[in-house]
Amino acid sequence: MRSLQSEIEQRGTRIFELVNQHPESLFSRAGFYQRMMALSMRDEQFKAQLFRFVDVLPSLHRSGEIVEHLEEYFADLRDGFAPLVHTGVRLARIVPWVSGRVLRWNISGMARQFIAGKNPHDVMKALRKRRGQKIGFTVDLLGEAVVSETETDEYAARCLDLLETLARETRGWTDPLGRNSELFPVVNLSVKISALYSQINPADPANAIAHLAPKLRPILRRARELGAFINFDMESYAHKNTTLELFKKIFTEEEFKDWPHAGIVIQAYLRDSEADLRDLIDWGRARGTRFAVRLVKGAYWDYETIKSRQNGWDCPVYFQKPESDVNFETLTRILFENGSIVTGAFGSHNVRSIAHAQALADELGIDPSRFEFQLLYGMAGPIKGALVEMGYRVREYCPVGELLPGMSYLVRRLLENTSNEGFLRAKFAENVSEQELLRDPCELLRKSRNGVLPRSNNATTNAMKDRHPSHSRSLDTPPGDTYENAPLTNFVHQENQDKMRKALSEMRTRLGKEYPLVINGEKVFTGKTIASINPSSPDDVVGAVAEAGIAEAERAVRAARDAFEKWRWTPFEERAQLLERAAAIIERRRFELSALEVFEVGKPWTEADGDIREAIDFCLFYAQQMRRIGRPRLTQNVPGEESYYHYWPRGVAFVVAPWNFPLAILGGMMTAALVTGNTVIMKPAEQSAVCGAMLMEILEEAGVPPGVLNYLPGKGSVMGAHLVDHKDVDLIAFTGSREVGLRIWESAGITRPGQRELKRVICEMGGKNAVIIDSDADLDEAIVDCTYSAFGYQGQKCSALSRLILLQENYDRVMERLLKAAASVRVGNPEEPGVTVGPVIDETAYNRILNYIEIGKSEATLAYQREDVPPKGFFIPPTIFTNVKPNMRIAREEIFGPVISVLKVRDLDEAIAVANGTDYALTAGFFSRSPANIERAKAQIEAGNVYINRSCTGAVVGRHPFGGFKMSGGGTKAGGADYLLQFLVPRVVTENVTRHGFAPEETPQYRDEFLWPTAR
Ligand SMILES: Cc1cc2nc3c(=O)[nH]c(=O)nc-3n(C[C@H](O)[C@H](O)[C@H](O)COP(=O)(O)OP(=O)(O)OC[C@H]3O[C@@H](n4cnc5c(N)ncnc54)[C@H](O)[C@@H]3O)c2cc1C
């Protein structure tokens, strides 16, 4: 008996023979597309620019715009085809109308290559043609990313319409193989789950399923009546578990339990895929009705690797291509071995993967008519033909839709076709030998493990493998490059959802406790307390903290002053280690602290987790930074003299924090002060005083010496003001409102009798952040990101979007989608996973924001206000005002709530002028696909943090050092390389080391000896 490998080779060779009888290059059509692909494979820069250009083109309406973009995208290209492009651009300038049309026509041609038709009627032409070639179909409706429930309803309606048309138009069509045809209905529809609910949140699959199931049932019902098959496509990893759960749930329902014409996709590039497939098969057996699985490798490899790297998550996909190939073969076997309950469909263009399935089916005695091969429309035509000729069942995946929504699909296909790792490129563009293409992927893996194969030339793979070792301590590399952030919690995993639920229920039992002040290491109760309440349920007291008055403030200053004398001489390495121990404790208590934030400040799950992550990052980043700047460093290499630049701490720091990032901001300012050798009096906001107490507990457990950190909640106007003015307080680190910040700034400028130092004020205040949406922006992204930037955490981030500036050219298009998106965001108690908008912090904020809404109603037009907010708790309805003018109060004053003021402008000049025409300069955003406009926004928008094509909230320590200027703050950058310098005084010691004309030849780069004198 021949081995499986030789069977595979034999079948593979046969496929190649048949393919070679109908030679076709990689792409079915020659011409423009062909040339573009060839250039893309030669030059990565061209490829990136081409794909971006393809992406923006459908949103360009005027020929002049097309020509401008063409120039912007391709003008800087280096070599090869640069002259070609330049000639094109010159020509286009002369006859823009003609050139714009020609380009659009050509790019549309590229899209038409992969899109089978514009609408259900249109697609029938392609399907009939395939029928003649004995190729079946599954149809997929292309759509924009849905951003609202109105859009999901439209998608569902289109699915129903498509089903009707297909059923009507294919009446009388029969199965091409004529055997086992009951397993393979003619009409086959592929649906995308994410297009049926706009608020899918990985943390809350139950909510998603509750919304998805009612949308799906009518489609399934109708499909069943029409004898059609429904397949659930698989999208990004974030949606995977929800899609699987939904599939199992809905097809276990009485109505669909015995319906065999349902299928789902399994992606072999996922490490979880074998477990998922086995679980599905167990489910299928328990259900007792046949179902189908389309096995693919997976279309989101780049996205998954980038996303997981950005968030510090374990990457869900394999890093090496042969790993995905091996897994595809493993899963093929599992499918065949369970053929009694599951029908396999193999979605691949890779002849090795296909030949393996054929050979294995033979080995296991499976009739070829009991499974099928599926291939994409517009790709690998000769392979389809070969498979039909060999007697296999072939189905083509046919996308239907307009050009604009089709762009992301087109870009995915272009990526796939030009991928260095892909089979199609190897076979059809690079003519890799057949023998090579049919090699056993296990063998390739073994070789790669032994280092025989060259490393992948995929930049992302290499970057994944080259991750810096944790929290690298190199002193010579720029800090942003060496710091690796703490990961966010990935709530896609059920285990994390369970941990959070458990933490919430445990925290609930601990609410209402009392917490003392901590002064000089002693716990102090004062007889007076501040109650911290749950903003979702104001009758619930989260905890009560002792309230400090003037007397306690005086004690705290003395304690901090005394402790300073020792702490300042403590080696910075010890201080850095204290922060690292604190980070480890926060990590250990991560879910507990997140749960506390949900109750105390109304943070949704992911926001709370983000705050915890940031607190950890501040500890670790500042520890690393202190090591970087702590050692006295030689200023210049001059013979005969040594000068060392170094830093001393300032003294006693008074840290005053807001409630909106209760651990991160308080912890960030406090740890920066500690690690630099200052002692600290830490005043949390009254509304988040329990979080502050936790932070104190954490630092105590980490080993902070008595007096070095003192915990002092109390009234800002009383003990806070007293400490700001205190002669023994050397530094004030404040984050909060402009009003209080300016008062501190002014008061700290007065020198009091007995004061040693000029007080240093580190001041972070508010913002009136603007986002501009350019006329060519990707609205799928812009709407989602703007909605989140404005309404996420109820608009209570200093970085939140508050002024949305729209160009008149796309005003209507944006507003139409924005209003619907606002109507779709989830508002509710943040104990529920997946809620976006919870309650605002307290009654004062509630009344203030409502007051601003009234002002808005009198100044501008109320375009939207949500109605269904919970009656109890401080819930403010997400609100949007239009017809806002720059001088109106709602366009100038910080509201700090879920309210957007929309300003319409003529053009980008006016947009930038309006964005900059505010007292503040904290964050700003710009959505555009014009490289020239992007550069302009980078250069001209006045804000401390300017974000392009992404949300304007969510700064990450080290990556996005955060803070503004003008009335937003003193230009400090929390989480940046310069931040610690503000907590320090620089000092230089210079020694003449020449004795009678002789000086040592070498001067050390660093000298530590005098930092920690032994005689103290
Ligand atoms: C009919 C059909 C339906 C499809 N439906 C879906 C769907 O619902 N969901 C979905 O996600 N995809 C779907 N796909 C797309 C499919 O995932 C890709 O077309 C497929 O991955 C290309 O694989 P291949 O076997 O044809 O080519 P190959 O060239 O053999 O494989 C390319 C694939 O290998 C994987 N890969 C590339 N580089 C690496 C690496 N460094 N490490 C590990 N793996 C790597 C990627 O998955 C890449 O797409 C479908 C494809 C077809 C044909």
**Ligand 1: does its nearest atom lie under 6 Å from the Cβ of 376?**
yes
Q: Does 477 have pLDDT greater than 90?
A: no
Q: Is the CB of 298 under 6 A from ligand 1?
A: yes
Mean pLDDT of 522-533: 97
Span 25-44, average pLDDT: 69
Tell me which residue has its CA closest to atom 44 in ligand 1. Answer: 321
363 C-alpha vs ligand 1 centroid, how far in Å? 25
Which atom, in ligand 1's list, is nearest to the CA of 320? 42
* Whether residue 296 has its Cβ less than 6 Å from ligand 1: yes
Q: Work out which ligand 1 atom sits closest to the CA atom of 397.
A: 1
Ligand 1 centroid to Cα of residue 415, in Å, is 11
User: What does the pLDDT read at residue 451?
Assistant: 61
Ligand 1 touching residue 421 (CB < 6 A): yes
Mean pLDDT (the chain) is 92
* pLDDT tens string 415-443: 888 888 888 888 877 888 999 999 999 99
pLDDT at 848: 98
Q: Which atom of ligand 1 is nearest to the CA of 328?
A: 25
Q: Which atom of ligand 1 is nearest to the CA of 352?
A: 30
- Can you tell me the distance from the alpha carbon of 1008 to that of 786, in angstroms, rounded to the nearest whole number? 50
> How many CA atoms lie less than 13 Å away from 285 in the CB half-sphere?
8
- pLDDT tens digits, 927-953: 999 999 999 999 999 999 999 999 999
The pLDDT assigned to 460 comes to: 45
Among 92-101, 423-432, 702-711, 980-989, the minimum mean pLDDT is found in 92-101
The angle formed by the CA atoms of residues 47, 51 and 56, to the nearest 5 degrees, is: 150
Q: By alpha-carbon position, which residue is closest to atom 17 of ligand 1?
A: 298
Ligand 1 within 6 A of CB of 137: no
**Amino acid residing at 182:** E
Average pLDDT over residues 623-628: 96
pLDDT of residue 886: 98
pLDDT digit string (tens) for 883-895? 999 999 999 999 9
CB atoms within 10 A of CB 249: 16
Q: Which positions are catalytic?
A: 764, 798
pLDDT at residue 385 in the model: 95
Atom 25 of ligand 1, nearest CA residue: 348
Helices first, then strands: H and E counts in the chain: 36, 30
| pLDDT in the model for residue 462 | 46
Angstrom distance (rounded) from CA 344 to CA 335: 6
**Rg for the chain, CA atoms, rounded:** 32
Query: Which protein residue has the closest C-alpha to ligand 1 atom 31?
Result: 422
- Rounded Cα gap, residues 35 and 85, in angstroms: 13
H-helix or E-strand spanning residue 271:
none
Mean pLDDT, residues 531-538 taken together: 97
Amino acid at residue number 345: A
From 138, 272, 296, 379, the mutation candidate for ligand 1 (largest count of ligand atoms within 8 A of CB) is 296
Cross-strand partners of 762: 733
Phi and psi at residue 475, to the nearest 5°: -90, -10
**CB distance 265 to ligand 1 below 6 Å:** yes
With a 6 Å cutoff on the Cβ, whether 380 touches ligand 1 is no
Provide the edge-to-edge strand list for the sheet that holds 709-711.
522-524, 517-519, 709-711, 679-683, 652-656, 731-735, 760-764
Burial class (CB in 10 A: 0-12, 13-18, 19+), 436: exposed
The answer, yes or no, to whether any atom of ligand 1 lies below 6 A from the CB of 866, is no
Answer whether residue 622 shows pLDDT above 70: yes
pLDDT at 469: 37
Distance 325 CA to ligand 1 centre (A): 10
For the four alpha carbons of 79, 81, 83 and 88, in that order, the dihedral sign comes to negative
Would you say the CB of residue 299 lies under 6 angstroms from ligand 1?
yes
Locate 1001 and state its tokens: 């030849």
Q: From 230, 295, 297, 395, give the residue whose CB has the most ligand 1 atoms within 8 Å, as the site to mutate.
A: 297
The answer to whether the CB of 321 is under 6 A from ligand 1 is yes
Is residue 131's pLDDT more than 60? yes
Backbone dihedral angles phi then psi of residue 243, each to the nearest 5 degrees: -65, -45
Whose alpha carbon is nearest atom 24 of ligand 1?
Answer: 348
**Nearest C-alpha neighbor of 197 from the set 152, 234, 132, 228:** 152
For residue 324, how far is its CA from the centre of ligand 1 (angstroms)?
A: 9
Distance 345 CA to ligand 1 centre (A): 14
Q: Which of 700, 730, 622, 613 is nearest to 663 (CA)?
A: 613
Take atom 51 of ligand 1 and give the residue whose Cα is closest. Answer: 347
Closest-CA residue to 414 (of 113, 148, 173):
113
Q: Which burial class, exposed, middle or buried, applies to 4 when counting CB atoms under 10 A from its CB (0-12, 13-18, 19+)?
A: middle
C-alpha span between 680 and 220 (Å, rounded): 63
Which residue's C-alpha comes closest to atom 43 of ligand 1? Answer: 321
Q: Is 832 close to ligand 1, i.e. is its CB under 6 Å away?
A: no
**pLDDT for position 394:** 98
Distance 453 CA to ligand 1 centre (A): 22
In the predicted model, what is the mean pLDDT of residues 744-756? 95
User: Is the distance from the beta carbon of residue 461 to the nearest atom of ligand 1 less than 6 Å?
Assistant: yes
Confidence of residue 86 (pLDDT cuts 50, 70, 90): low
Q: How far is the centre of ligand 1, averaged over its atoms, from the C-alpha of 487 (Å)?
A: 28
Kindly report the number of other CB atoms within 10 A of residue 716's CB atom. Answer: 18
| Widest pairwise Cα distance in the chain | 109
Residue 350 CA to ligand 1 center (angstroms) comes to 9
Q: Which two tokens mark 485?
A: 């952030």
The CB of 269 under 6 Å from ligand 1? The reply is yes
188 lines ligand 1 (CB under 6 A): no
Closest CA to 611 of 666, 554, 549: 666
Give the amino acid at 570.
Answer: T
Residue 16 Cβ < 6 Å to ligand 1: no
Report pLDDT for 463. 46
- 811: tokens are 């005003």
CA–centroid distance, 297 to ligand 1, in Å, is: 4
Q: Does residue 348 have its Cβ closer than 6 Å to ligand 1?
A: yes
Residue nearest to atom 33 of ligand 1 (CA): 297
Ligand 1 centre to CA of 158 (Å) is 27
Is 435 strand, coil or helix? helix
Distances (CA, A) of 85 to 76, 267, 757, 764: 10, 39, 63, 48
DSSP readout, 990-1006? Answer: EEE--BTTB--S---SB
Q: pLDDT category, 99, cuts 50, 70, 90?
A: low
Q: How far apart are CA 535 and CA 873, in angstroms?
A: 6
Q: Alpha-carbon dihedral of residues 573, 579, 581, 587, nearest 10 degrees?
A: -150
Cα(267) to centroid(ligand 1), Å: 8
Report CA(298)–ligand 1 centroid distance (Å). 4
- Say yes or no: CB of residue 347 within 6 Å of ligand 1: yes
Nearest atom of ligand 1 to the alpha carbon of 300 = 11
Query: Distance between terminal CA atoms of the chain?
Result: 86
Angle between helices 4-21 and 351-363 (to 10 degrees): 130
Model pLDDT, residue 265: 98
- The pLDDT tens digits of the residues spanning 809-842 come to 999 999 999 999 999 999 999 999 999 999 999 9
Element (H, E) at 82: helix 82-94
How far does the centroid of ligand 1 lie from the alpha carbon of residue 9, in Å?
22
Residues 6 or more apart whose Cβ sits within 8 Å of residue 155 = 141, 143, 146, 195, 196
Pair of tokens at residue 278? 């086995």
Per-residue model confidence as pLDDT tens digits over 374-412: 999 988 899 999 999 999 999 999 999 987 667 778 888
pLDDT at 937: 98
Instruction: Pick the closest to residue 438 from 897, 12, 730, 970 (CA basis).
Output: 12
Nearest CA to ligand 1 atom 9: 234
- Tracing tokens 């001393």 back to the chain, one arrives at 648
Amino acid code (one letter) for 304: E
Q: Which atom of ligand 1 is nearest to the CA of 353?
A: 25
- Under the banding of pLDDT at 50, 70 and 90, the label for residue 97 is low
Which of 40-49, 446-455, 857-866 shows the lowest per-residue confidence on average (mean pLDDT)?
446-455
Asked if 419 and 302 count as a contact pair (C-beta separation under 8 A), the reply is no
- Would the pLDDT of 219 be above 60? yes
The amino acid at residue 686 is E
Nearest-atom index, ligand 1, CA of 422 = 29
Q: Is there an atom of ligand 1 within 6 Å of 375 CB? A: yes
**Quick one: how far is CA 407 from the chain centroid?**
21
